[in-house]
């Protein structure tokens, strides 16, 4: 429990954004306020890092964890990815964003439905990165840290 709080605090202290620049001012990170999608992404980032910690445990047992709230949140956020309002109003003007959402969502199902394996987990993170290569370069280094070596 303590270690979770610790991770959470680290995540709060790390500033996430699509820009590469260091931010000196506290929240909101975006001068126009944080978009729904940005908030959802931060939640995903925190949630995924908790999952990473879970599956890296030596005694990790997928059958005990598959109903865990953090795994359930992955499913929950799948619909929100399409619905949440982005900072960039043009994001959804083409099918590109929704195609990346589909690929990411597919990798989430694949991860959850096949015994929570490390390679499927990493594949899911690669799908976060693919979409970010298109839309949000600044956070890729942070997302890369979610990979399990």
Cα gap 124→137, rounded to integer Å: 17
Q: Give residue 116's Cα distance to chain centre.
A: 16
Alpha-carbon span 107 to 102, nearest angstrom:
9
* By CB under 6 A, residue 100 contacts ligand HEC: yes
Q: Which is nearer to ligand HEC, 63 or 93 (CB)?
A: 93
Of 1-9, 54-62, 84-92, 110-118, the segment contacting ligand HEC by CB under 6 A is: 84-92
120 binds ligand HEC (CB under 6 A): no
- C-alpha to C-alpha distance for 124 and 87, rounded to whole angstroms: 24
Instruction: Determine if 140 is a binding residue for ligand HEC (CB under 6 A).
Output: no
Q: Which stretch binds ligand HEC (CB under 6 A): 5-13, 57-65, 112-120, 137-145?
A: 137-145
HSE-up (13 A, CA, CB side) for residue 78: 16
Instruction: Identify which of 76, 57, 72 has the alpha carbon closest to the alpha carbon of residue 118.
Output: 57
Give the residue with the Cβ less far from ligand HEC, 50 or 128.
Answer: 128
Nearer to ligand HEC, 43 or 62 (CB): 43
How far does Cα 6 stand from its chain's mean position?
18
* Site residues, ligand HEC (CB under 6 A): 16-18, 29, 35, 37-38, 41-42, 44-45, 48, 86-87, 91, 97, 100-101, 104, 127-128, 131-132, 135-136, 139, 142-143, 146
């Amino acid at each position: 429990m303590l270690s979770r709080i610790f991770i959470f605090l680290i995540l709060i202290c790390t500033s996430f954004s699509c820009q590469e620049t260091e931010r000196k001012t506290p929240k909101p990170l975006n001068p126009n306020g944080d978009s729904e999608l940005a908030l959802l992404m931060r939640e995903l980032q925190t949630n995924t890092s908790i999952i990473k910690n879970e599956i890296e445990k030596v005694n990790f047992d997928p059958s005990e964890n598959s109903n865990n709230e953090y795994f359930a949140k992955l499913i929950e956020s799948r619909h929100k990815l399409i619905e949440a309002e982005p900072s960039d109003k043009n994001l959804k003007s083409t099918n590109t964003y929704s195609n990346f959402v589909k690929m990411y969502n597919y990798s989430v199902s694949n991860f959850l439905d096949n015994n929570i394996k490390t390679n499927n987990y990493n594949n899911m993170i690669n799908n976060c990165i693919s979409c970010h290569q298109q839309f949000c370069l600044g956070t890729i280094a942070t997302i890369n840290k979610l990979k399990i070596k």
